[in-house]
Structure 1
Amino acid sequence: MSNPGSPIPGRFSGLSNKLIATIIGVIFLVEIVVYLPSLANFRATWLEDRLRVGVVAARVLDAVPDVMSLPRSLTDRLLTSAGADAIVYRREGQSQLIELAEPVTPERVTTADMRQRDLATQIAGAIDTLFAGRGRTLRIVGEGDLDESLIEILMPEAPLRQEMLEYSRNIGLVSLGIAAITAFALYMLASRLFIDPVLRLADNMLAFRKAPENATLILQPSQRRDEIGIVERELADMERDLASMLRQRRHLADLGLAVAKINHDLRNTLTAAQLLSDQVATLDDPKVQRLAPRLVTTLDKAIGFAQSVLDYGREAAAPPQFVPTEIRPLLDDAAFEARLVGHPAVVFVNEVPDGIVLDVDAGQMARVFVNLFKNAREALESDPRPNRPGAEVTATARQDDDAFILAVSDNGPGLPPRARAHLFEAFEGSARAGGTGLGLAIAREITEAHGGMLRFVETEEGTQFEVALPHRPTA
């Protein structure tokens, strides 16, 4: 998890650095792709210039009947102007050679055949010349200006390599300038369109995280219609919802604390009143004897309501402690706690087979079934039907795909429409007058904490709830 106090990277750090480096890298990659053909073309042009000088020298040779009669100073000037050690002119099966007064004996010779014009050969020759080092002699071969004529020039490779290095340096400087200017221009554009909005979002998220209930920190989205605009609007909506929810939770927490204190004091007061009513109930006054049971019942309901609210407020959010638990005894104990076992008018039938073991928190899951059994018992006890069948609460189990389902059903009058409309809602889903509706709300929370689901099942008679647990039986 990121540190809420972590600073936001500046304009030239974080995404900015990555963007600039990416732009410069892409530009240099493009320059390299363009550089190699350009360098090969430079080398080919340089060699062509030397061949043209050789052609001029060849024409001089053609104009002189006897090459041997040419003054040595003239031949040396021809070779010097071409930068060559020797020139060979071949035409019609004859060869003519002019060379310096002091012939040069080359140690290493490489050939540049200008009759091969394909790009791959030219690029390979340029790379070879650039990395060959010093001391090589270059043999340039090309066609003359007459049909079936051939010119060969022997010259040091060093001048060509030196000019190619200078050309590469110039290309590098130009490329660096172009990369810098292009990167700056693209960065400014990207900064305005992307980086600044992202920094604004990051600043807002960090500020809002420190004070999420401060409505002034909610992001004010721009009018952009692209993806960043969508993120801005969604973030603003989320911050508004979160701020509202946190304010509501704070109010509810304050209200809950106040209610808990009130209920605690009220429960103590009601307990004292219950003790007093028990004493009053022992009086021989007929009017007291007639009213005392109602008073006791009313006080019992008030104490139960206060206790339910306190229990719900104290409900811990501790995760379940899963241990292998045998289900049938757990249901028997829950039925006993719900006062089903030994009930004079309601029969409890446990149809869950012996030996079924699930990984559950036994204490929490028992509370789920205590609530379900208690609701079923109270529904059967208040059944107003004159010809009702024998009151019965049944627990069954079945395997359904990846879930193990435990069902609690009764043959009572069923849930009223108002209770069905607000099932599992605290203080709303009670099926009887004076109820809190906390039982089903607590049962649902516990079941969901187990990764399962508590659901109401429509039946023709009575009421049925199913607890679907994702754990398969282990035995």
Structure 2
Amino acid sequence: MHASTTTAVSEGAFASLFQELHDPAFLVDRVDGSFLAANQAAARLLGYSLDDLATLSPSDLHPHELPRLKAFLREVTTHGRWQDDNLTCRCRDGSFVPAEARATTLHVEGRDCILIQLRDLRGQKLAEVGQSVRKLSHDLRNAMTTAQLLADRLAENDDAQVRKSADVIARSLERAITMCQQTIDAGQIASEAPCRERFLLADVVDEVTATMVMPSGLGTQVVMDDADEDATVLDADFDQIYRILLNLVRNAAEAGAQTVRIYGAREDGRAILTITDDGPGLPDSIRENLNREKPDLSEGSSGLGLMICCELAARHGGAMSVMDSGPKGSRFRVTIPDAADAV
């Protein structure tokens, strides 16, 4: 914004109205396309101060789509008003905000101007993503229901191994169908409270093993060690503990581990699980994130499965941490307090 032009919109009734606009707004010189003014809402949206914005122009906020910006300003100038919901603004931190831009021409203090108002579309975009997720989950649920019916047929097979495999398949499908239903109901995977029951660690490890290890014995081997002769008891949600162990075993397998050892013990009203693998170790960035008090679940696919494990343990009032990780493998510690001792 040029010093000689800012006075024209810094005082008077128009300036007061301009600053009180609920939506972010800019006043642009119609001739040279420079900013004449911006309101506080615009500064908040983009992370700039008004002084910062005084040194910028529309092209600084849209460097990634200059042709579209020029076409937008040209249409406003030609028709007197225009609307475009395809513009995105670059914020001070480098992130981008999708926005609907509405503009109109006007005359302020002897100067031909363009008033541009923005509407933040991030909430709308998230709602659209949520709707798409619900639709996808609905179709996945239907597909898995069909697979579950086929698993039920396999359960009647004469071969005992086939019947055992069919039982594991049926339970896995049931978990998946439940998660799909939660997604349909809430638009996101619900942070459901644990449905606690008492069960042996050996039982859930058997199910993880049946899921991960091929009948031929090929692939990553899961070995159960137990301080109490296969009798470590958990007071927890069976399915959520299964998800924790399955994520750890699957991640180790995908990284190239040959063996995953699961050790269980009880101490002071809680179950303590130690999961050790002989894989290549975790990247430092993932390890640091997991050992935070509140792991960041927004970091995408990089370590997401492990971060979900942290969240599932936290739902029980427990925690998961990385005890050791290096070229010779990783060791995780999962603590699950009994219901009476959970925070």
- Please give the range of the TM-score, normalised by the shorter of the 2 chains: 0.3 to 0.5
Larger fraction in strand: 2
Task: Name the larger-Rg structure.
Answer: 1
